[in-house]
Structure 1
Amino acid sequence: MDLMFNVSGFNEEKEEFSTSKKDVLKFLKIIGVDSRFISYTPQKIYINNLRFSKFSRTRQATFNKQYPDIEVVRNSLFQKICSKSSKHLALEIEPNSSILMPDDNFIIELIMEPYTRKYGVKLVYEGDYDLKVNPLILDDQVNDIFEGIFSGDGLNFSKKSDEIYPLINVPLDWINSFLEMDNQELIENKNKNELAISFSEFLEDVAPQYKENVVKAAQFIEEKLETE
């Protein structure tokens, strides 16, 4: 049964819910939505994982009746981005840690927000912290590797132990496609090395899935070098 609650109970108890984050999340919990798998913003609720969030159409209708001005975003591409990101974050985040966030990075904000409930982390923007978000994306990681090879410096691939990488296996085109659909500002590659970018574009034409394979190969080589 989809509705595991008595909607009429709201009217009987006449419980009032404000538009505060606390009350919105409380209401979601009451109607059976798992807020560990949604991203909260004052204007929109973004579903990270449709199955685990249990945010069915019926529950959405109930939510929209209470909060008609808050949009529920059921974007499948965003859910794919969150799925990719969670594979790294599950290994990198320590429960109840303080995480230093980058300034003005909308996609990072959306991805990290649910981890305040999943792992009890605290997102900070200054001061002391346990871990720091590095917004490195897959495309820049690959171009960094190519740049190091072409310049003769070897593999330019070293992750820091006090950093986490939510977008390290997420391609730029996924990110910008979602941002465009959500009417947000697009992002650009940080790595501007022309030779690396040109080689990446060539590989994109002949082997579209090459990026993650390049990263895996670089990781394998780096691990081998460390053991020798």
Structure 2
Amino acid sequence: MRTKFSKMLAATGLVTLDPEEDTTRYTPTEAYPEPEAEPEPAPAPAAQQQPALAPEQSVVAEQKDFADLYREANVPTVSYSAEKLLKLMAGLESMPMEVRKQAIKAMDDADETWTVDDSVLDAQRKVKALAIAKQKIAQQVASALQNADREIAAIQAEEQDKSAQVRKQIAELTELLDRGVARAAQQTADVRAAARTNQEAGERESARLDAEMNRLGQIVITFSGQSQVQK
């Protein structure tokens, strides 16, 4: 005997009724075994500092296809994936949650090619795969920060080394400049002193010659009758 609920499911296209099939199996009030809960995972060991990834491995790739993530995590395919079940649930979103749940369970009973348990297990596996992907992203971000810190430290160390070399060169050039200025000043003083000494010597010698000329000129004035001696 077909129930009113099974007829409703058939009208919405969710199930196809077999005339010879015992439709009482679609009764929504039929108890449906809940999927066995997975055992609680053992406490995770204390997190250890993971070695930094290479710079080229630290770049986070955005918008990576979920299918690629699941493939990398070796998530096996199932006949009725979690995404299909989500799509089915979205198609029944106008129903109350409990009615929606019973409708999906009725469809599960009607179709032996899939079970809700498969979809639940698929969802659990994919959630785990996404969690692993998140851990990898966290490692990439942490590695990128560590690599950036090392690169910045290297840049700053190189800049400090170059600055120290430039300051050393400036100090050496300043010292060389000071020595050059001092040497030029000393040479200038020596030249001026030599010129002054020579000038003084010339003045003394001229005075000595004048004295001798005056002494000899007395003879000229005395015996030639000239009033002065031509110098």
State the structure with bigger RCO (CA 8 A, min sep 6), 1 or 2.
2
TM category (shorter chain) comes to under 0.3
TM-score (norm 1): 0.22
Whose radius of gyration is greater, 1 or 2?
2
> Which structure is higher in helix share?
2
- TM, length-normalised to structure 2: 0.22
Q: Whose strand fraction is larger, Structure 1's or Structure 2's?
A: 1
